[in-house]
Amino acid sequence: MTGVPSNVLIPWVGMEFDPSKAQSGSGEMPFAGLIIGQKTGDGSQGNVLDSTTYPCADQTGLTEKVTIDDGEEQTVTFGTCTTLAHVVAQMSAQLVDCKEESSGGQVKITSNTRGSDSSKVVIGTGSCALTWGTPVDGTTANNGGVLTLNSRNKGVAASDVDVRKCDEPSEKVPAGLRVTIGETISGAVDPDVQDAIDAINDQWCNVHANAYDDATNLGIVEDYLEEVYDPMIMKDAVSFHAKRGSVSDLTTFAETSGRNSHCVCLLDAGNRKMSTYELAALVAGACAKDAQEDPAVPLHRITLLGARPNSINERRIWTERNTLIQSGVSTLTDSNGLQTEGIVTMYLKNSSGASDTSYRYVVTKMILMLARWKFVNRINSRYPRAKLMNDATRVKAGQQIMTPDIGKAEAISWFKEMEYNGQFEGIEQFKTDLVCRRDDDNPNRLEWLLSPDLVNQFIVGSAVMQFVL
């Protein structure tokens, strides 16, 4: 036993505290969020970070933001709107609603932004003015009746802006006014996310929201997440991204781009009235908040507060959404507010190229993340400096000993804790398949083979009604 050293000879009674048995379970795994976005050319944080919404942050206080340098192309021109126009524009987080206030041949469009009503566009026959929030940096003077809106940030992701007229069915263009929305000119080069990954260093952030969905940056993210998934690092995470495109475009990208990552969740952004990076952050935060309560609860039907659902004629039908999920693209629904639906990873095939659904749902990753953390934390906290011995070896009481039988008992206790919390099932199968033994070649090594049956989620219900008359 430890405590008072054995070579003390003076009369003495002392006591040492040992907390190794004070904790009955394995503790709670912390959830930490990470948002990756770019800053403006002058070094300040730009709209890619400023306009993201990560609801988990307020609950955990553990959300980190990493800024990287802006894209290398010139400032992006997003669209052109003809003068005397009645336009409703969605610029990232900012929804602009038309308020008809004609004066001197001008129509003023006032922005109803979140917590602000100060931004406005004044479009007239002889002049134009623009004062906008974070996503837009200003405009040129009225040039032939054309108003040009420019992004504050550069690059492909920063050009994800939706400009439209008459956003709601109740809105219409006033008589005598006309509007033409010109072609959006997108950026060509996004910044390199490797800079953000290098900045993370040794910090563990297990839910990421990433602004970029191009093949190059996705490849960098996938390689990094695969590396930290390794048993020598064990800082696994899920990275949320969003991408626009038709169903065909997204399924082709997911199936043929070589992604196949069990660590990446790619969301169908469709024609959502928000930027792809804001959508990624919104879903990542909502899923992290939900998983922190219980990682085994399905991630569908989570209401995304603060986001507007699409109108009926803009929604994907269920067959389209089902096709996307089968291709590894996550979907949202709009019938009951904006809600999560099929939150899946991009993992489709195993190492042999055969179809594999083992990592289909993000919730599976969440359960595995928790299970590994609890098992490792349990062993490290209870046996930090244990001796490794064979079973049935007689030793005096009070020593920290690990044996194969003790290892089995700890594994079963770990399973029962996860089972009690509704994350595992099938204790008898687990006991039958459980292996814990000393390594034949390394006497200081103990090996476990753990085969837990992860709890499933109620995704689909099917019934047949055989009625009689």
Q: What is the pLDDT of residues 29-58, one digit of tens each?
A: 888 888 888 877 666 555 566 555 555 444
Instruction: Burial-class residue 420 by CB neighbours within 10 Å (0-12, 13-18, 19+).
Output: exposed
pLDDT exceeds 70 at position 363: yes
Q: Answer yes or no: do 229 and 276 share one domain.
A: yes
Q: Distance between CA 281 and CA 274 in Å, rounded?
A: 11
Is residue 342 a part of any domain in this protein?
A: yes
52 & 200 share domain: yes
DSSP structure class, residue 202: T
Task: Pick the closest to residue 149 from 212, 75, 95 (CA basis).
Answer: 75
Q: Which tens digits make up the pLDDT trace of 92-117?
A: 333 333 333 334 433 344 333 333 33
Tell me, yes or no, whether 334 and 201 share the same domain: yes
Q: Do residue 127 and residue 144 come from a single domain?
A: yes
Distance CA 237, CA 51 (A): 23
What is the 3-state secondary structure of 206-248?
Answer: CEEEECCCCHHHHHHHHHHHHHHCCCCCCCCCEEEEEECCCHH
d(C-alpha 419, C-alpha 364), whole Å: 15
Do 293 and 247 have their domain in common? yes
If 0-12 CB within 10 Å is exposed, 13-18 middle and 19+ buried, where does residue 318 land? exposed
**Single residue among 127, 147, 164 that ends a domain in this structure:** 164
Please name the helix (run of DSSP H) or strand (run of DSSP E) that holds residue 333, with its range, or none.
strand 332-333
> What's the sign of the alpha-carbon dihedral 436, 439, 445, 451?
negative
Number of domains in the chain: 3
Mean pLDDT score of the chain = 79
Residue 331 lies in a domain: yes
Residues 46 and 130 in one domain: no
Residues 61 and 86 in one domain: no
Co-location of 142 and 231 in the same domain: no
Compute the distance between CA of residue 161 and CA of residue 153 in angstroms, rounded to an integer.
12
Classify residue 180: in a domain, yes or no. Answer: no
Asked if residue 6 is part of any domain, the answer here is no
The pLDDT of residue 143: 53
Q: Which residues, at least 6 apart from 124, have a Cβ–Cβ distance to it below 8 Å?
A: 83, 84, 104, 105, 106, 107, 142
pLDDT score at 200? 87
Domain span including residue 343: 33-70+191-366
Question: CB 15: neighbour CB atoms within 10 A?
Answer: 6
Domain check: are 66 and 82 in the same one?
no
216 in any annotated domain: yes
pLDDT, mean of residues 417-435: 97
Is the pLDDT assigned to residue 80 strictly greater than 80?
no
Residue ending a domain, choose from 309, 335, 366: 366
Burial string for 115-128 (b: 16+ CB within 10 Å, else e) reads: eeeebbbbbbeeeb
- Which of 111-120, 282-291, 302-311 is least confident? 111-120
- Tell me, yes or no, whether 12 lies in a domain: no
Please indicate, yes or no, whether residues 235 and 358 belong to a single structural domain of this protein.
yes
Residue closest to 214 by CA, chosen among 245, 184, 182: 245
Residue 308 lies in a domain: yes
pLDDT digit string (tens) for 127-184?
A: 333 333 334 444 444 455 555 566 667 777 766 766 666 666 666 655 555 556 666 6
Do residue 304 and residue 443 come from a single domain?
A: no
Take residue 145 and report the two structure tokens written for it. 């009746």
Contact partners, residue 33, CB within 8 Å, separation at least 6: 54, 56, 57, 60, 62, 63, 64, 205, 207, 208, 209, 284, 285, 288
Quick one: 58 and 204 in the same domain? yes
